[in-house]
Amino acid sequence: MTRDEKKGIDYANKSLNGKSLILKKLSRRQALSTAGKVAIGVVVAGVVAGVSGYLAGSAAVPTTTIERTVERTVERTVTKTETVTVTGTAPPPTTVVTTPAPTTVVTTVVTTPTAVRFEGVELTVATQTGPYIAEPVYHWRDVWCQLTGAKAVNVVEIPYAELFEKIMLDLKVARTYDILIIPADWAGDIMGGGYVLPLDDFMKKYGFPGWEDVVPTVREKILSWGGKVYATPYDGDCHIFYWRKDALEVPEYQDKFKDQYGYRYNIPPKTWEEVLDIAEFFNGWDWDKDGNPDYGIAFCFRRGSQTPWYFIDIAAQYTVMPPEVPGKIDRYRGIFYFDPETMEALCDTPGWIEGFRLFREMLKRAPPGAINWSSGDLRTIFVSASPSCAMAVDWADIGVISVDPTISKVKDKLGFSRLPGAPRYYDREKGVWVEKFNQVSILNFGGWVGVISKWSKNPEAAYHLLTFLASPEIDIHDVCEGARKTGRNPYRYSHFTNIDAWVAYGGWSRESAEAYLKAIKSVYDDPNALTDLRIPGQPEYWDALDIAISEVLTDMRTPEDAAKWLKQQWEEITNKRGRDQQKRLYREMLGLPP
């Protein structure tokens, strides 16, 4: 089933004002029967019905019908008429009319019960250069404008390497952007800096679509700052572990590995040491029998890309002491970046040094040229099997791309899990290694979020657009439809439970979808999940870390020297920005008292 046909299927969701929108799902089995190829034009409106009324205010406006037509060819003929009834404010039932014919038109038109109007309003959205992250704004903006009467939604695309600098310049000087779709890691500078509006009052006045459906980790750790909500969810992010089933799960290869290494590896691998052994075993020979050499692991190593997040996947397992009470952080437990009492950088501690050492070893098990791979490179190479790699680490993007028939050679060949752990961790309080298994979930990057500039001339319209994009009726399409390259990953409970949507919209097999979503949800369910550094100066701290990693990978510094140099850099950044202020904000980030 193609993307546009899928949009004719509407699921029941909660509306923003708490009332249920009951949309009868148009059954593929009832409404569609296999036939010859026919062209189908689909007029899509049901996906916007659930978000049309929550910002309406006290006065109802005339009923609005949104129509959107897309042509495509499928091997289906529509043979049934369905009625879709909206329960809410008062319009008559909406009928979906399907007319069998050589060229069949399926019309799914849902009238909006009440709709807020922003006649003539023009909004400007700034985000990174697309397609990833920017694509959904382009995809839905015309629908939103038709729904609200807004004149236009303009999108300013900025290369990621320049995004922080140009956004901060606009916030301080030009003040032209209404909405910023930004990495959650920049919360300290942008939310803490007072450049964007808190959303609590908007939420009290207008509500928010399915707020309780957003997983608590995202609501509390990603969207909030200093006890206030500043952002709407846009993209849920964490790293998970991937493996090729046609490599790790082949009994012959398992037996050969045991013969060489003296033990049978776990599926999924339990520790990073185990990953290194498995990657070494699969490196440099044709294990997928395609006539070309294959390799052990796909990882991100390139300077100036996303490499620090991949390094942290390893280093945190050896550094972060598990809290004695789940979710309860103190000076020594649940801590990775700084000592929260002194703001001393911890990047020269033994766990960090072990992370540098193992990261360098990981590069030796990757294909030639992998030192130049960004995350985009690794996911494309891993999914297209060019060359084949037995394992990979990435955000959830590999999963959605793996079912894209235009690129993927690994559909239904992947396994998914939390990140591997470590056989030991360093106890900073006692100054000793603890020989005990440790597994740290990490909310790498924290995802992309939507915020409203405090200088926006149309903040209510901006809030309406952001919540429209974050509504369950809309975002389920964006997280499932990987071929669109939306860059949006799950962050709602319904994203994890609505397996039908992944099968129908994304083209997943049910088995693979369930395994993929289980892996991601296990990270969000972990009360001890580590967040990124989110204090002012985060890009500076991150750049210094990136330099240290690249110098270890190129043998310009030893792991010990790199850790020592990095600590000096972080201490200088902290002193420059004010140690007391940074400590206060760091503790605020961690949820510790001042």
Give the pLDDT confidence of 452-509 residue by residue, as tens digits: 999 999 999 999 999 999 999 999 999 998 778 899 999 999 999 999 999 999 999 9
Q: What is the pLDDT of residue 227?
A: 87
Task: Say what angle helices 472-480 and 459-470 make with each other, to 10 degrees.
Answer: 60
Using the predicted structure, report yes or no on whether residue 218 has a pLDDT greater than 80: yes
Q: Give per-residue pLDDT as tens, 136-156.
A: 999 999 999 999 999 999 999
Mean predicted confidence (pLDDT) in 427-445: 96
Q: What is the pLDDT of residue 226?
A: 83
* Per-residue model confidence (pLDDT) at position 51: 53
pTM (two decimals): 0.82
Residue 474: in which H helix or E strand, if any?
Answer: helix 472-480
Spatial contact of 419 and 393, defined as CB atoms under 8 Å apart:
yes
Q: Is-contact 387 293, C-beta < 8 A?
A: yes
> How many other CB atoms are there within 10 angstroms of residue 533's CB atom?
20
pLDDT (average), residues 226-249: 96
Cross-strand bridge partners of residue 401: none
DSSP string, 141-163: HHHHHHHH---EEEEEEE-HHHH
Q: How far apart are CA 526 and CA 193, in angstroms?
A: 29
Of 226, 239, 240, 222, which Cα lies nearest the Cα of 449?
222
Q: Write down the mean pLDDT value for the chain.
A: 84
Distance (Å, whole) CA 51 – CA 21 = 10
Question: Cβ distance 490 to 396 under 8 Å?
Answer: yes
CATH code of the region 240-440+535-590: 3.40.190.10
The per-residue pLDDT for 95 is 33
- The pLDDT of residue 18: 31
How high is the pLDDT of residue 482?
A: 73
Tell me which of 89-93, 163-167, 309-313, 577-581 is least confident.
89-93
Q: Which residue has the tokens 């960090």?
A: 352
Q: What is the pLDDT of residue 484?
A: 82
Q: Which residues pair with 415 in a beta bridge?
A: 243
Q: Is residue 44 classed as helix, strand or coil in its secondary structure?
A: strand
> H-helix or E-strand containing 130?
none
Residue 21 has pLDDT above 50, yes or no: no
- What residue ranges of the chain are covered by domains with CATH 3.40.190.10? 65-237+446-508, 240-440+535-590
Phi, psi of 188 (to 5 degrees): -60, -45
Compare 24 and 257 and report the one with higher pLDDT: 257
- pLDDT grade, residue 115 (50/70/90)? low
pLDDT tens across 358-412, in order? 999 999 999 999 999 999 899 999 999 999 999 999 999 999 999 999 999 999 9
Tell me the fold of 65-237+446-508. D-Maltodextrin-Binding Protein; domain 2 (3.40.190)
Mean local confidence (pLDDT), 224-236: 94
Considering only residues 114 and 245, tell me which one the structure prediction assigns the higher pLDDT. 245
**How many residues are recorded in the chain?**
594
